[in-house]
Structure 1
Amino acid sequence: MSEKSPSDSRVCVVGAGPSGLVMARAALQAGAEVVVYERHTDVGGIWDPENPGSPIYESAHFISSRYTSGFYGFPMPESFPDYPGYKLLRDFIREFAATFGLYDVVRLGTGVQRAEQVDGGWVVTDTDGRSETFTHLVCANGVTWHPRMPDYPGLDTFTGEYRHSSTFRHAREFDGKRVLVVGGGNSGVDIACDAARNADAAFWSVRRGYRVIPKHIFGVPLDVFINEGGRPPEGVTVPEDPSALIDALVGDLSRFGLPKADHAALESHPIVNDAIVHHLTHGDIAGKPDVARLRGDTVEFTDGSTEQVDLVLFATGYDYDIAYVDPSLFEWRHGHPELYLNMFNREIDNLYVLGFIEFADAAYHRFDEMAQLIAFDVVATGARKQQLSELKRTDAPDLRGGMHYIDSPRHASYVETHTFQHALAAVRERFGLEALTETTFDALRRDPLEKAG
């Protein structure tokens, strides 16, 4: 695939989480020189809670199963449970980096202050004040580093404690307290379960109704059942409509005081959790609609009910940010950069973003496929470079496949996973690129003794 020598293509990747590491591997595979800047002392991104600003808590687990969640050529081991926790994931990502020699190109303990366009390239200044020049810049700094706090009436007068869920680490923080968790994402549901098990009283508030999806369907991990056409046991008939299937398995959560779901199951990011329904059915936690206001030590909800609360934890999401690049270099919509195929800057040919995308699927294979196209663009020359540049500027595929997603900042960059995969495949085929396989990166693989050394 390489059409340039390493001296012609020098790629700066910011961030050594999963997306930055797969980008480094793809760039090396393409024959480019690559440097990865990582401000933390090891790779792994958010999956290392010692990484300052990481939102990872002790009970955090993957919501996709180990069967679908590995990298190309590096699946999760059979010894992993169906849904591994953060410690296994952190170590798995580090083993991935060691296996493919990626530590060799990562500058640990070195962040990026700024990256500036200069003479068709980039001057990158690190946190030690040193500057280097690169031909291409890939922003892979992740999307869960800038907490978004709500602005409910009376919040500034609340006499209890309130903070963002990114500060939460362990369920013991809830001991002896009346706790309200606000937010319907997967981390909010996890933390609500921790509150249910440890707080004196626990409440879970959401602004709209959601369906909670079980992690197993008839004993098979959810994503395996869906992606491999799982079948129910003999004699069992299930609805074809996903919403009807979930409602049949879980029931209507509005019976627990939560708002009734106002959208179809696939119109929002899936909440995959078994424990929250258990705690709701046993009275360990009470469901509540959205917060209306706070007053003193009391929270009032939109249904008029009130609760005395000691601690409010806001699991209200994160803002996307690329702080080291002039924001005017991107077009922003609902706080998200507008990008071709959610990775290519449409106007600046050597500027990319990897990882700023949402879909109802395991992420790492998709990141690998996106990185392959970025690496191709990095080394492409002549007519092929011009053709891809023209696609970036003019092509506007429907990446949602006709799906309607709820109107929220999180869903601004949401795509339908199969539609997105087809779009990536169409670009590969146009330029004669082979689809990634489990052997694509074998040439970069290190043997165990070499890794240890």
Structure 2
Amino acid sequence: MNQIADRSGAVAIVGAGPAGLSVARMFRKYGVDYDQFERHSGVGGLWDIDNPGTPMYESAHFISSRDLSGFYDYPMPASFADYPTRRQILSYTRQFADDFGLFDAIRLGNGVTRVDADGDKWLVTTSDGTTARYHGVVCASGTNWHPRIPVHPGHFDGEIRHAVTYRSAREFDGKRVLVVGLGNSAADIGCDAAQSADAAFISTRRGYHVIPKHLFGVPVDQLDDGPVALPRWIERPLMTALLRLLVGDVTRWGLPKPDHKLFESHPLLNSQLLHHLQHGDITVKPEVERFDGTDVVFVDGSREQIDLVLYATGYEMRIPYVDDTLFEWNGDRPAQYLTAFNRRHRNLFTLGYIETNSSAYTLFDSVSNLIAQYLAAQDSDPALAARFDDLIAHDTPDLSGGLSLVRSDRHRGYIDSKTIRKTIDRVVSETGCRPLIPGFADSLRTRPATTAG
């Protein structure tokens, strides 16, 4: 057996995408010693389209808007688009790592292959064959790496792929394409097919509320989660009425009528899809029933000759380097306190394993702030750590915000952004942790307070 290196005073961070970089900055802020492991050759996670296994595609943009989507106290440049491109997000993420001096602790090209409990410590084995003992582990390796692929009966003569393999609209040239699914990525890819394929179809099991990316010239998420945001009980009926007025009846263009109220499922933010439906560039089909040679047969009895079926049916939130029994699970989502703290195994954290209705980056920072202070307090302030331990063991907040969500794999453990922020504020108050305030990380900067883009 290889010799085990002693890093028992440090924490291992798995992944150097946005979540991993968020917690690394907080560790530097609060003096938590750490090593960070990234299996790819650069930081940025899935936003680097050249990373093997990434689900990124050329036409991808951020689903939340620029001014609400950045790391805390590190805004995206004003030169970025309202909904930044994948290249802009990657540039911003890498500049963040550079500006805060995070590269020095990142071991690129060296992923974590195994994490094992070792008493009250953790053994971390990496792809270079070394094993080290750590005080804790933060699993921040991302959620969109393990595709969920449905199985339909019958034999299909054409090509079947998952969207994780998709990169460019050029792949659709000369083909009759069926995109299965109607999440935001599926809608993006459907728009690519509408412009490039010989014929384009999109299959969905249910209807969704379609929200334009801009209302009254303002990115729509700023009306939900910005300075002028309204309480949900006022916002939902008001927004429902606005959509009826501004968007109209989407069933006119073949989309099913939603079987749920607004905000009870992740809405579809894609005005471009409506454009292509309105102009006949893409056709909506119901759920797939079976394959029949060159045809796809749908549950309404209709059929279409198809060359390529592309499943845009989501991803499983796996943590493949940790034994599943070390986590509690809600479907395929790790069921952690505040999405991060393991209730049964101290200092085994997750960051980024969420489905939420707002920008994730600032939420990462809010949770990272708690993780870092909790770890630091285990040495410097045992009373604070004990208060936190009590909350981890006994506090069971409803983070859905009281929304009656659609029953689906995607919505298991769904997080309402307004609710988790209020809950984090309460936890900060009850434990005595320091809240995030503007300028909290100025001393960590290795560059002036500007970002490239």
| TM-score, reference length from structure 1 | 0.93
Aligned to 1:174: 172
**Deviation of 1:361 (Å):** 0.5
Aligned to 1:299: 296
| SS of residue matched to 1:272 | coil
Aligned to 1:128: 128
- Taking only aligned residues, the RMSD between alpha carbons, in angstroms, comes to 1.8
Which of 209, 212, 215 is the aligned partner of 1:211? 209
Aligned to 1:234: none
What does the per-residue CA deviation read over 1:309-348, in whole Å, with 9 as the maximum and x for residues that have no partner?
A: 0001000000111111111011122111111111110111
| SS of residue matched to 1:413 | coil
* Matching residue's letter, 1:399: L
Q: For residues 230 and 332 of structure 1, do their structure 2 counterparts lie closer, same or farther at Cα, with a shift above 3 Å needed?
A: closer
What does the per-residue CA deviation read over 1:17-55, in whole Å, with 9 as the maximum and x for residues that have no partner?
A: 000000111111111111110000100000001111100
* Matching residue's letter, 1:117: A
CA distance in 1, matches of 2:148, 2:218: 35
Contact 2:15–2:139 (CA<8 Å) still a contact in 1?
A: yes
CA distance in 2, matches of 1:448, 1:226: 32
| SS of residue matched to 2:66 | coil
Contact 2:206–2:257 (CA<8 Å) still a contact in 1?
A: yes
* Matching residue's letter, 2:195: R
Aligned to 1:158: 156
1:379 counterpart = 2:380: no
| SS of residue matched to 1:28 | helix
* Matching residue's letter, 2:151: D
Q: For residues 123 and 230 of structure 1, do their structure 2 counterparts lie closer, same or farther at Cα, with a shift above 3 Å needed?
A: closer
CA distance in 1, matches of 2:227, 2:337: 31
Contact 1:62–1:84 (CA<8 Å) still a contact in 2?
A: yes
Contact 1:355–1:367 (CA<8 Å) still a contact in 2?
A: yes
CA distance in 1, matches of 2:64, 2:150: 28
* Matching residue's letter, 1:142: G
CA distance in 1, matches of 2:447, 2:226: 33
* Matching residue's letter, 1:281: Q
Contact 1:356–1:413 (CA<8 Å) still a contact in 2?
A: no
Contact 1:242–1:266 (CA<8 Å) still a contact in 2?
A: no
What does the per-residue CA deviation read over 1:186-212, in whole Å, with 9 as the maximum and x for residues that have no partner?
A: 110000000000000000111111112
* Matching residue's letter, 2:161: R
Give the alignment of 1:199-238 within 5 angstroms. 199-228=197-226
**Deviation of 1:256 (Å):** 2.1
* Matching residue's letter, 2:253: F
Contact 2:163–2:310 (CA<8 Å) still a contact in 1?
A: yes
Q: For residues 239 and 128 of structure 1, do their structure 2 counterparts lie closer, same or farther at Cα, with a shift above 3 Å needed?
A: closer
Comparing 386-395 with 193-202, greater Cα deviation is found at 386-395
* Matching residue's letter, 1:219: G
| SS of residue matched to 2:12 | strand
**Deviation of 1:230 (Å):** 5.4
CA distance in 1, matches of 2:253, 2:225: 31
Give the alignment of 1:35-46 within 5 angstroms. 35-46=35-46
* Matching residue's letter, 1:57: Y
Q: For residues 68 and 112 of structure 1, do their structure 2 counterparts lie closer, same or farther at Cα, with a shift above 3 Å needed?
A: same
CA distance in 1, matches of 2:289, 2:208: 19
* Matching residue's letter, 1:21: L
* Matching residue's letter, 1:374: I
Contact 1:193–1:279 (CA<8 Å) still a contact in 2?
A: yes
Contact 2:225–2:358 (CA<8 Å) still a contact in 1?
A: no
Structure 1, unpaired ranges of 5+: 1-6, 232-237
Which of 261, 264, 268 is the aligned partner of 2:261? 264
- How many percent identity over aligned positions? 50
CA distance in 1, matches of 2:241, 2:153: 37
